[in-house]
């Protein structure tokens, strides 16, 4: 497919939130469902910025809760494009808790979202822009995405 290119940096998205009482679950930690909602929003915004069109979330992979987060902590969510297919895009979402004194960031969650570029009727349409890979890390993420896509295809074929 011959298309114009956009870099990973072009759609790089960083979003922050201070955890409030309404974000906390019964055990005093950040509610996982709330965090997944924020991650989904960041993934959608990242993919929208890349393709310049509507997107919908098709799948979420490797969602891993590594650590809890607590009231008044600052949560930083970063979305980066890793792969562009015909109509689908993969976005890596990393979540950090940021120490308010030092600014140090600790990873608390990570996932890979598959976003599909759709028209106003919700039907998949081709992504107009390819992904220009600049760094070795970006090239490694692209190769990783190809493996994940293969695993997803197998899973779908086997019906789970
Ligand atoms: C996502 C959706 C638009 C795909 O439609 P579809 O008719 O299955 O389309 P296709 O089979 O042509 O797939 C389109 C692309 O999505 C990818 N895709 C579809 N389902 C997928 C899945 N479960 N996991 C990973 N990729 C998927 C396909 O591999 C294809 O990629 P490509 O064009 O880059 O090769 C459709 O399944 C849908 O609307 N799902 C509901 C989305 C939703 O409501 N999300 C939650 C709210 S945001």
Say how far apart CA 50 and CA 10 lie, in whole Å.
7
Q: What global pTM score does this model have?
A: 0.95
Q: If 0-12 CB within 10 Å is exposed, 13-18 middle and 19+ buried, where does residue 136 land?
A: exposed
Q: Is residue 130 within 6 Å of ligand 1 at its C-beta?
A: no
- Determine the distance separating the centroid of ligand 1 and the alpha carbon of 147, expressed in angstroms: 18
CA distances (Å), origin 45, targets 50, 78, 86, 137, 147: 9, 11, 19, 22, 24
| Domains and their CATH numbers in the chain | 4-158 (3.10.129.10)
pLDDT band at 160 (very low <50, low <70, confident <90, very high): confident
| Mean pLDDT of the residues in the chain | 95
> Are the C-beta atoms of residues 129 and 5 closer than 8 Å to each other?
yes
Decide: 144 in ligand 1 pocket, CB within 6 A.
Answer: no
Tokens of 65: 């809760």
For atom 24 of ligand 1, the residue with the nearest CA is 59
In tens, the pLDDT along 142-155 reads: 999 999 999 999 99
Average of pLDDT values for 8-26? 96
156 CA distance to ligand 1 centroid (A)?
11
pLDDT band at residue 64 under the 50/70/90 scheme: confident
Express each pLDDT in 106-122 by its tens digit. Answer: 999 999 999 999 999 99
Q: Where are the beta strands (DSSP E) in 37-128?
A: 54-65, 74-84, 88-98, 105-118
Residue 1 pLDDT greater than 90, yes or no: no
- Span from the CA of 81 to the centroid of ligand 1 (angstroms): 17
Q: Read off the tokens for 156.
A: 């779908």
Q: Atom 16 (ligand 1): residue with closest C-alpha? A: 88
What per-residue confidence (pLDDT) applies to 74? Answer: 96
**Residue located nearest, by CA, to atom 40 of ligand 1:** 58
* Tokens describing residue 84: 């562009």
């Amino acid at each position: 497919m011959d298309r114009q290119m956009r870099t990973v940096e072009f759609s790089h998205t960083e979003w922050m939130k201070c955890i409030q009482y309404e974000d906390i679950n019964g055990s005093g930690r950040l509610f996982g469902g709330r965090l997944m909602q924020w991650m989904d929003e960041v993934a959608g915004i990242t993919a929208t910025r890349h393709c310049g069109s509507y997107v919908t979330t098709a799948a979420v992979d490797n969602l891993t809760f590594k650590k809890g987060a607590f009231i008044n902590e600052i949560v930083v969510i970063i979305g980066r494009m890793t792969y562009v297919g015909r109509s689908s895009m993969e976005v890596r979402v990393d979540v950090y808790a940021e120490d308010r004194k030092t600014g140090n960031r600790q990873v608390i969650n990570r996932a890979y979202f598959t976003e599909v570029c759709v028209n106003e009727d919700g039907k998949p349409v081709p992504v107009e822009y390819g992904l220009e890979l600049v760094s070795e890390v970006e090239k490694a993420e692209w190769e990783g995405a190809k493996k994940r896509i293969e695993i997803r295809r197998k899973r779908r074929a086997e019906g789970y």
